[in-house]
């Protein structure tokens, strides 16, 4: 796979933002249906970032192992919610530096609402509201946990390309945009934390398995409060959907994640 990025994106002197990271995020997303109203939802990521020496190499250092799990509550075909725990393992940004722990643990509690809009021709749109309660800490020796809240809103769509709707053997395009806000005692500047665009292509292999590859651009606020950093991330995802209900109660569904 060839990735082509505009050269201007790698400028370190932009008056708006500076590129500080490239990376690759590998994700496994799972949904398991227990009953008509309840299920399991999980996100499991292995994230890499560029090396200290080269900004554009994408996979020079380990960044995070990210595990999010939750109880999926399906209210109706157009609204569902999830609540559960998260555990993030943050790897040191400076491997080999004795002043940094190799891994810093970051626990969270999260919950979200997902609203599906009625189909507009081939296009299906979603609105996702996600809330995270985080106990964050950096990798510096002796650094303490800092409690913050994060509020996220994402709008995204699924657009089938080779068929009229999402079904087996469908190639689809999915654009999205997400804004992040945060609060907490340590947040002394602007409540804005991050903005992301994430666009890519998926392929529905069968009712249980979907593959997805995309590019994510982020814009985040630096601790100074008036400077911003950006990143380019390649994302490779697999979506798995399972149905644990008795065979006579199963309803065929396609799982393409969210």
Could you read off the pLDDT of 11-22 as tens digits, one per residue?
A: 443 446 799 999
Residues 6+ apart with CB under 8 A from 200: 173, 174, 212, 213, 214, 215, 235
* CA 188 to chain CA centroid, nearest Å: 26
* pTM value surpassing 0.85: yes
DSSP string across 51-65:
-SS-TT-S-SEEEEE
DSSP string across 103-148:
EEEEEEEEEEEEEEPPPBTTBEEEEEEEEEEEEE--SBTTPPPEEE
Minimum mean pLDDT range among 55-64, 98-107, 210-219, 238-247: 238-247
d(CA 10, CA 18): 8
The stretch 20-40 carries a mean pLDDT of: 96
Output b/e per residue, 163-182; b: 16+ Cβ within 10 A: eeebeeebebebebebebeb
Amino acid 257: pLDDT: 64
Amino acid 16: pLDDT: 63
Could you read off the pLDDT of 92-145 as tens digits, one per residue?
A: 999 999 999 999 999 999 999 999 999 999 999 999 999 999 999 999 999 999
pLDDT class of 34 with cuts at 50, 70, 90: very high
Which residue is associated with the tokens 């911003």? 228
* CA 133 to chain CA centroid, nearest Å: 16
Mean of pLDDT over the chain: 90
Count CA atoms closer than 13 A to 173's CA, side-chain side.
Answer: 7
- φ, ψ dihedrals at 28, nearest 5°: -115, 120
């Amino acid at each position: 796979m060839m990735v082509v990025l505009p050269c201007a994106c790698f400028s370190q002197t932009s008056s708006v933002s500076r590129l500080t990271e490239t990376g690759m995020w590998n994700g496994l997303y799972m949904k398991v249906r227990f009953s008509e109203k309840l299920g399991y939802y999980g996100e499991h990521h292995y994230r890499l970032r560029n090396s200290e020496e080269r900004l554009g190499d994408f996979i020079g250092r380990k960044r995070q192992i990210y595990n999010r799990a939750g109880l999926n509550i399906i209210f109706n075909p157009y609204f569902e919610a999830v609540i559960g725990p998260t555990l993030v393992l943050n790897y040191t940004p400076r491997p080999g530096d004795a002043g940094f722990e190799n891994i810093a643990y970051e626990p969270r509690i999260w919950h979200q609402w997902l609203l599906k809009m009625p189909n507009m021709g081939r296009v299906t749109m979603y609105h996702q509201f996600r809330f995270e309660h985080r106990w964050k800490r950096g990798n510096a020796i002796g650094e303490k946990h800092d409690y913050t809240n994060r509020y996220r809103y994402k709008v995204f769509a699924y657009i089938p390309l080779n068929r009229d709707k999402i079904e087996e053997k469908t190639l689809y395009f999915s654009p999205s945009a997400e804004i992040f806000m945060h609060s907490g005692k340590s947040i002394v500047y602007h409540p804005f934390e991050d903005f992301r665009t994430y666009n890519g292509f998926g392929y529905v292999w069968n009712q249980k398995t979907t593959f997805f590859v995309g590019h994510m651009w982020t814009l985040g606020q630096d601790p100074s409060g008036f400077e911003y950093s950006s990143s380019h991330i390649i994302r490779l995802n697999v979506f798995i959907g399972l149905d644990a209900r008795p065979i006579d109660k199963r309803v065929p569904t396609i799982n393409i994640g969210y």
